[in-house]
Structure 1
Amino acid sequence: MAASKIPGWVTAELFEDLLKANVEGFSKVKSFKADSGSAAGENYATIMLRVNIEVELQGKSRGRSSRIKSDFPPLDGKSKPVSYMVKLPHQLEMFQEMMKRTNIFDIERTMYNQVVPEIEAIYEEVGVDITFGARSYDLKNAKTDYVALEDLGVKGFKNANRLEGFDQAHTERVLQKLAQWHAASAVRVTTKGSYTDILLDGLYKEENRPMMTEMMKGIGSNFVKSCPTYEGYEVFIDKVKALQPVLIDKMFDFAKVDPMEFNVLNHGDSWSNNIMFQYDAFGKIKEVYLVDYQLPKYGTVAQDLLYFLISSTKLEDKLSKFDYYIKVYHENLVEHLKILKYSKPIPSLRDIHLALFKYGFFGYTVATGVMAAVLLDPTDTASFENFVGDTEAGLAFQMQLFNSPRFRKHIQVIMPWLLNRGALDM
């Protein structure tokens, strides 16, 4: 992001209270730089900044209690580098319109400030130490909506390769983390009642229906246009065409919660770039964190499972190991529901598979939506505006999404699989 695009109010002064509270021995800011925190195509929904600050430290007798918890304890020397990630809203009219109806910044700050700590505390109560994501901070004089977070890169966290897709080791660790999150989120409802309204519906509020219909129209028609270039498209093209007029209705049907089923607070946006890994010296996965808690949705576990497994696993494993991966998830779910003494009936493996069949249509929306973005080579035309827009640039970008060689390989195996599972039926 060019320096001119960084909002003028993102300054050193904005972070001073935060630094005083979290950097042991803070004296003053020596240098401050804000830059883009993600390349084109790596983050669509928000603007991401990485803020790098060099902090000057006080002398040895700092007068600060050593018992104060510090995110950035002083090193030997007179200064220390500190960094944060800051998410800001797009200023596009379309995005602003969406924010009036569903403020994803309010949602994400609620998740980081209330829900994530609450979920972690549920494990603490039974003596299990599990962390689900980055620490969040308040910026008192921010001029727009924002989310401020610790920079996980400092702790060695990074994304795995989205283009290659996750191998079995990465996939199993993510499924374990999702199962841990789902288990505690279900327990939380039994002990504390329902989540707040802004977390229950996600984007699926009735007032969002016209906007979502408009946004999906172009994407849907461009996918239909691309289908004849896919090998074997003849078997599914009629069903795909028939789905287009009712796509949003079916998505809203999917979003309805059946109280007789096992329901959880889904992460809601569990694709590869929203999952970060920390590795040991031998390259083995030490820890997994989920990031981007802006689209949570209470309901069936099928949402997170279909979203993650279809969008982010490697092609060789995507379908051949699908049932095995559901078993891995279920084993972890059962283990953690038992650890947390879940008071309701624990879902069987069969229950989870039945949910995946019942809500299979959601897999189609993942394959023709987020999966296309995950598999696209880095490009400067990748943006929120082009992903959902009907401008000439937007239409060109959407055709690019559906016609990349990598996407073609995936969609040619996924569409027959969805068809054979009944996921494309009206």
Structure 2
Amino acid sequence: MADSKVPDWVTAELFEDVLKSTVEGFSKVRSFRAESGSAAGDNYATIMLRVKIEVELQDGTSKQVSYMLKLPHQLEVYQEMMRHTNIFEIERTMYNAVVPEMEALYKAAGVQVTFGAKSYELKNARSEYIALEDLCPKGFKNANRLEGLDQAHTERVLRKLAQWHAATAVRVATKGQYPEIVLKGFFQEENKPMINEMMNGMGEIFLKCCATYDGNEAYIDKVRALKPLVIDEMFKLAEVDPTDFNVLNHGDSWSNNIMFQYDEFGNIKEVYMVDYQVAKYGSVAQDLFYFLISSTKLEDKLSKFDYYIKVYHDNLVEHLRILKYSKPLPSLRDIHKELFKYGLLAYSVATGVMAAVLVDPTESASFENFISDSPEGVDFQMQMYNNPRYRKHIQVILPWLLNRGVLDIN
């Protein structure tokens, strides 16, 4: 049995080899069901399916197992995007090569660090796919994206990001650069027209809403002047500066790509990152702005920003030392300098991904509406930029960015 989003080739046979290799005493499949694995507004970039299988074991007993299957949208605009940047190939490279290598670096240093779910190969899949263990049975779940992460959750995520960044920096220092496929993310020159086209309509709608935000008189002219230049400026910032402290950024580090496991008292036991589709080599400012601006609680977002950077830096230095990083350690001041230098990334996150994070989970929260200039798309984008929750966040962030000089383009 399956719901309407499930392609007809997603069957029990597809998972036979995985079941044989991962389920001890596997005999046969008793029942198979694939269903939607994420709620509206929780996942834009792909179709997520949860595959539930009841298996019979050799001793006659049965066992429930489940997997997550990620598939591409069939929309023409999405297929076009896939032709420009193969996010599935990137993510498979990350899961099959990069993530295990990072975990092995820590193991060799005598420290157990796990970054995410196990991934599996499926024979006879008829489209691009990513197959992963389902983390829910292990008690992993997302925090509430609409409320934002509190200090305890934020500190744990920053520790995990620091562990990841430290390992990727050590890898480059010892073995040289990563394969080309995982280095650039979306920022390849041939993608610029597509990105411009996707972002133009949203930029117009943001500008329209911006003119209604409390206190906009202080920054609206700068926001208006920035609009035609912002993509070009972002591409400039995507160039890697060898004088920065550079790492392989996760690239999409918002709260729904972070899974938390809790103990029986509700304390955080473990943090995993998922969705390694848009990894990007460069300054740590990318992941830091992406995460802190998009996914933290409103009351902490700016008041604790500098404190959170120190938490990150303390963890970064600790793990660079554990992994015996051979180059000079970045100072806290170095990290802050990069945050000023790449400040426009904070603006990009606040006017892009943060709006998607804070929008209500309605059926209109879809990839199509996120980028479309159809009446439904325009309506959804108005909801993103105009809902009371987003307004509260953006009305404190824009003055903060203004005061940091981010809205001044040279």
Query: Could you say which TM-score interval applies, normalised by the shorter chain?
Result: over 0.9
Show CA shifts across 1:41-82 (max 9, x none): 0000000000000001112xxxxxxxxxxxxxxxxx610000
Aligned to 2:264: 281
Partner of 2:22: 22
Deviating beyond 3 angstroms after TM superposition, the runs of 4 or more aligned structure 1 residues are none
- Structure 2: segments with no counterpart, 5+ residues: none
User: Who is 1:48 aligned against?
Assistant: 48
TM superposition shift of 1:168 = 0.3
Given that residues 358 and 389 in structure 2 are in contact (C-alpha distance below 8 angstroms), is that contact kept between their aligned partners in structure 1?
yes
Alpha-carbon separation, structure 2, partners of 1:238 and 1:228: 10
Letter in 2 for 1:166: L
Displacement of 1:180 after TM fit?
0.3
Q: Cα deviation per residue 1:9-47 (whole Å; 9 max; x = unaligned)?
A: 000010001101110011110000000000110000000
In the TM superposition, 1:149-164 aligns within 5 A as 149-164=132-147
Counterpart mapping for 1:230-379 below 5 A: 230-379=213-362
**Which of 90, 100, 114 in structure 2 is aligned with 1:107?**
90
- Percent of aligned pairs sharing the same letter: 74
* Cα deviations by residue, 1:244-266 (Å, 9 ceiling, x for unpaired): 11111011011010011110000
Residue 2 of structure 1, CA deviation? 7.4
Give me the CA root mean square deviation: 1.0
Q: What aligned pairs does 1:197-236 form with structure 2 within 5 A after superposition?
A: 197-236=180-219
1:130-172 CA-to-partner distances (Å, cap 9, x unmatched) read 0000000000110000000000001000001111100000000
Contact 2:2 2:34 in 1 (8 A): no
Per-residue deviation, 1:7: 0.1
Which AA in structure 2 matches 1:154? P
SS state of the match for residue 356, structure 1? helix
CA offset digits 1:67-118 (Å, max 9, x no partner): xxxxxxxxxx610000000000001111100101101000001000000000
Pairing 1:123–2:106 present: yes
Match of 1:385 among 348, 360, 368: 368
Q: Following the alignment from structure 1 to structure 2, what is the Cα–Cα distance between the partners of residues 107 and 425?
A: 34
Aligned to 2:165: 182
> Aligned with 1:5: secondary structure?
coil
For 1:200 and 1:139, how far apart are their aligned partners in 2?
A: 26
In structure 2, the residue matched to 1:138 is 121
> CA deviation digits over 1:181-215, x for unaligned, max 9?
00000000011110111111100011100000000
Match of 1:74?
none
Alpha-carbon distance in 1 for matches of 2:316, 2:4: 47
CA distance, structure 2, for counterparts of residue 132 and residue 184 of structure 1: 11
CA distance in 2, matches of 1:197, 1:392: 39
Q: Which residue number corresponds to residue 7 of structure 2?
A: 7
Shift of 1:5: 2.4
Distance 1:366 1:356 in 2: 13
Distance 1:100 1:312 in 2: 30
How far apart, in 2, do the equivalents of 1:216 and 1:228 lie? 18
**Which amino acid in structure 1 is aligned with residue 30 of structure 2?**
K
Q: CA deviation at 1:415?
A: 0.3
| TM-score after normalising by structure 2 | 0.99
2:63 aligned residue (44, 55, 80)? 80
Q: Is the 8 A contact 2:35 2:51 kept in 1?
A: yes
Instruction: Give the Cα separation in 2 of the matches to 1:424 and 1:53.
Output: 52
1:194 match: 177
The 2-side partners of 1:2 and 1:29 are apart by: 16
CA distance in 2, matches of 1:80, 1:246: 56
Q: What is the distance in 2 between the residues matched to 1:288 and 1:225?
A: 38
8 Å CA contact 2:119, 2:130 repeated in 1: yes
Write the distance in 2 (CA, Å) between the matches of 1:362 and 1:260.
18
The TM-score, its normalising length taken from structure 1, stands at 0.95
Could you tell me which of 400, 404, 410 is aligned with 1:417? 400
